[in-house]
């Protein structure tokens, strides 16, 4: 496969139980006296945990004396915030015009089938997240997808499935399996 340089399933709160909210304390302390800093606090929290679990949102609400509904409302309003964990491999599948015309939908169908998820979801093993995105800027290689910053072009459903298998194997090898 050629490289040109380069939301989740029902797993959220199963993972959230292991989250150490105390890691937020220095951030909460830093912004305690800064009015209107909720978005910044949420951004920094997301940097720490990769996403905003309900446990984290509860803790932020409690520690900042803010209603949970408000914290939750801000977290769900802005698309930059993720309320579910993302996989180790974030697949961004281009659905721009060139990719669409050249078969991005059939690549998407193959990926969904191979991964057992729908677009926007994360596999239960937290290995893959599949997101559709707009033009990635590599239209001459369409259809294209990017995985953790690396771009794969001239995709076919078969190539996309192979890549997933390669990444799974790579992960297994890294685990020493
Ligand atoms: S339309 Fe897919 S990379 Fe441009």
CATH of the domain at 122: 3.40.30.10
CA-based radius of gyration for the chain: 19
Helix axes 38-49, 54-63, angle to 10 degrees: 140
Burial profile 34-73: b = 16 or more Cβ within 10 angstroms, e = fewer = eeebbeebbebbbeebebbbebbbebbbebbeeeeeebbe
Q: Which DSSP string corresponds to 87-114?
A: PSEEEEEE-SHHHHHTTHHHHHHHHHHH
Q: What number does the ligand 1 atom closest to the CA of 98 have?
A: 1
The verdict on 91 and 169 lying in the same domain is yes
**Structural domain contains residue 2:** no
pLDDT along the chain (177 residues), means of 10: 41 62 94 92 92 94 95 93 90 96 98 95 93 94 95 97 96 82
pLDDT of residue 163: 97
Residue 86 pLDDT: 87
By three-state DSSP, how is residue 53 classified? coil
Q: Which among 69, 71, 70 has a CA at the least distance from the CA of 24?
A: 71
* Residue 152 in domain: yes
Task: Give yes or no: residues 72 and 95 share one domain.
Answer: no
Determine whether the annotation assigns residue 3 to a binding site. no
99 belongs to an annotated ligand binding site: yes
**Would you tell me how many other CB atoms lie within 10 Å of the CB of residue 30?**
13
Q: Are residues 55 and 91 in the same domain?
A: no
H or E element at residue 19? none
Specify the ligand 1 atom closest to the Cα of 94: 2
**Statement to judge: residues 47 and 109 lie in one domain:** no
Q: Tokens 């690396």 sit at which residue?
A: 150
Residue nearest to atom 1 of ligand 1 (CA): 96
**Domain that residue 96 falls in:** 86-174
Q: What is residue 177's predicted lDDT score, i.e. its pLDDT?
A: 59
Distance from C-alpha of 150 to C-alpha of 152, rounded to nearest angstrom: 7
């Amino acid at each position: 496969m050629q490289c040109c340089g380069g939301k989740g399933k029902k797993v959220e709160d199963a993972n959230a139980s292991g989250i150490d909210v105390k890691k937020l304390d220095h951030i909460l302390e830093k912004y305690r006296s800064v009015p209107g800093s909720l978005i910044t606090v949420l951004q920094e929290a997301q940097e720490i945990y990769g996403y905003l679990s309900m446990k984290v949102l509860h803790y932020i609400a409690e520690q900042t004396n803010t209603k949970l509904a408000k914290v939750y409302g801000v977290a769900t309003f802005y698309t930059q915030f993720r309320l579910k964990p993302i996989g180790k491999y974030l697949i961004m599948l281009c659905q721009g015009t060139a990719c669409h015309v050249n078969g991005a939908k059939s690549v998407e169908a193959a990926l969904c089938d191979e991964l057992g998820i729908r677009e926007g979801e994360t596999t239960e093993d937290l290995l893959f997240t599949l997101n559709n995105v707009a033009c990635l800027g590599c239209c001459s290689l369409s259809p294209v997808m990017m995985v953790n910053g690396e771009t794969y072009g001239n995709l076919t459903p078969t190539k996309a499935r192979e890549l997933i298998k390669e990444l799974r194997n790579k992960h297994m090898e890294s685990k020493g399996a």
